[in-house]
C-alpha cells in the first residue's frame, strides 16, 4: 500500500526495467505515468507545499498576535473567525486548517484517565512517539480520526455504542491520508493519546475515543469536561 509499483510503458524495453508508475501510496494511475512526468509533478508539488506551509505559518502567527488577551473577547474573536471561514466555505467551497502556533495541547482531565487507560496505554506504548504538535500532518491525522468518530456518532444513541478500534482508524487513515501511510502504524495511537483520547476495553476488545461523558469509568461528577471534538460538527471550519 505504501510503495511504488512500476510497469512497462511506451518506449520501455520489455525485458528491461519498467519506468512507468502504476500506483504509489495506495493511489492508482490509469494510464500509468512515466517516471519523468512523475518526477516533474513531485518537484513542482514539493515546492508549492513548502511555500504553502511557510505562508500558512506566517499568516497564523499574524492572526495569533491580533487575538485579544481578554478571554471573553478572545472567545468572540474565534466565533467571528469561524463565521467568516464558514461563509467563505459556503461561497467558494474552500476549507481551511488554522494553526494557532506554539505547543498547543488539549489537556484531558486527570480524573478521567483511570487506571484501565493507563494500563492499556503503557501496554501499547502510547505514551511516546506522538507527532509534533507543530506538524501540519498532525492536524490532518487528528481531523481524519475525529471525522470518523463523528460519522459513527450519527448512528449511535450513546457514546458507548460508538465502536472505534485502532485497526479501524488505521484503515480509515490509510485510505484518506495516503501520503502518511509509511508512519501511520507508529504514530496514530500515541498522537491520539497525547490529544486526549482514552483507551478502554468493551465487548472483549480495546477501543479508543476522545475523553468525555459516557465512556467507561469517566466520572463526570469530578470533571464534567468533554473533549472539544464532541462539540463540533463535521462541516465546521477546522481550528487546531
Domain match, 9 and 119 both: no
| Residue 179, domain member (yes or no) | yes
Domain match, 215 and 122 both: yes
**187: confidence class by pLDDT, cuts 50, 70, 90:** very high
- Compute the distance between CA of residue 170 and CA of residue 181 in angstroms, rounded to an integer: 9
- Compute the distance between CA of residue 177 and CA of residue 229 in angstroms, rounded to an integer: 20
| Residue 105, domain member (yes or no) | no
For residues 90 and 62, the model is more confident at: 62
- Residue for grid cell 507527532: 131
Q: For residue 133, which of 55, 191, 57, 58 has the smallest C-alpha distance? A: 191
Domain match, 62 and 76 both: no
pLDDT for residue 219: 60
pLDDT for residue 107: 45
DSSP-derived pairing of the beta strands 205-210 and 238-239 = unpaired
pLDDT for residue 223: 59
| Residue 36, domain member (yes or no) | yes
Residue 43 contacts by C-beta under 8 Å, 6 or more apart in sequence? Answer: none
| Residue 54, domain member (yes or no) | yes
Its domain, for residue 182, covers 110-239
210-230: pLDDT as tens digits: 988 888 766 655 556 788 899
Domain match, 49 and 81 both: no
86-138: pLDDT as tens digits: 777 777 766 666 554 444 444 444 443 457 888 888 888 989 999 988 888 89
For residues 106 and 64, the model is more confident at: 64
User: Is residue 193 a contact partner of residue 126, using CB atoms and an 8 Å limit?
Assistant: yes
Identify the DSSP state of 131: P
Domain match, 31 and 119 both: no
Across the chain, mean pLDDT equals 81
Domain match, 147 and 214 both: yes
pLDDT for residue 109: 41
| Residue 77, domain member (yes or no) | yes
- Compute the distance between CA of residue 127 and CA of residue 106 in angstroms, rounded to an integer: 15
Domain match, 86 and 157 both: no
**Total domain count, the chain:** 3
User: Which residues share a beta bridge with 91?
Assistant: none
17-53: pLDDT as tens digits: 888 888 887 788 889 988 888 878 877 776 777 777 7
pLDDT for residue 108: 43
| Residue 225, domain member (yes or no) | yes
| Residue 103, domain member (yes or no) | no
Amino acid at each position: 500500500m505504501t510503495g511504488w509499483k512500476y510497469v512497462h510503458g511506451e518506449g520501455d524495453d520489455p525485458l528491461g526495467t519498467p519506468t512507468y508508475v502504476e500506483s504509489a501510496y495506495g493511489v492508482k494511475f490509469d494510464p500509468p505515468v512515466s517516471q519523468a512526468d512523475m518526477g516533474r509533478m513531485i518537484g513542482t508539488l514539493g515546492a508549492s507545499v513548502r511555500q504553502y506551509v511557510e505562508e500558512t505559518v506566517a499568516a497564523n502567527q499574524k492572526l495569533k498576535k491580533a487575538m485579544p488577551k481578554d478571554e471573553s473577547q478572545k472567545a468572540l474573536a474565534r466565533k467571528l473567525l469561524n463565521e467568516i471561514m464558514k461563509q467563505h466555505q459556503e461561497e467558494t467551497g474552500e476549507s481551511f486548517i488554522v494553526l494557532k502556533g506554539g505547543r498547543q495541547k488539549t489537556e484531558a482531565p486527570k480524573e478521567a484517565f483511570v487506571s484501565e487507560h493507563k494500563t492499556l496505554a503503557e501496554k501499547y506504548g502510547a505514551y511516546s512517539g506522538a507527532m509534533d504538535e507543530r506538524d501540519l500532518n498532525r492536524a490532518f491525522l487528528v481531523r481524519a480520526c475525529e471525522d470518523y468518530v463523528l460519522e459513527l456518532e450519527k448512528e449511535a444513541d450513546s457514546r458507548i455504542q460508538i465502536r472505534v478500534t485502532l485497526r479501524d482508524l488505521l484503515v480509515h487513515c490509510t485510505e484518506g491520508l495516503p501520503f502518511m501511510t509509511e508512519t501511520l502504524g507508529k504514530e496514530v495511537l500515541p498522537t491520539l493519546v497525547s490529544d486526549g483520547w482514552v483507551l478502554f476495553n468493551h465487548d472483549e476488545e480495546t477501543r479508543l475515543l476522545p475523553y468525555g461523558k459516557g465512556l467507561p469509568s469517566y466520572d463526570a461528577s469530578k470533571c464534567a469536561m468533554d473533549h472539544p471534538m464532541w462539540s463540533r460538527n463535521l462541516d465546521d471550519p477546522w481550528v487546531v
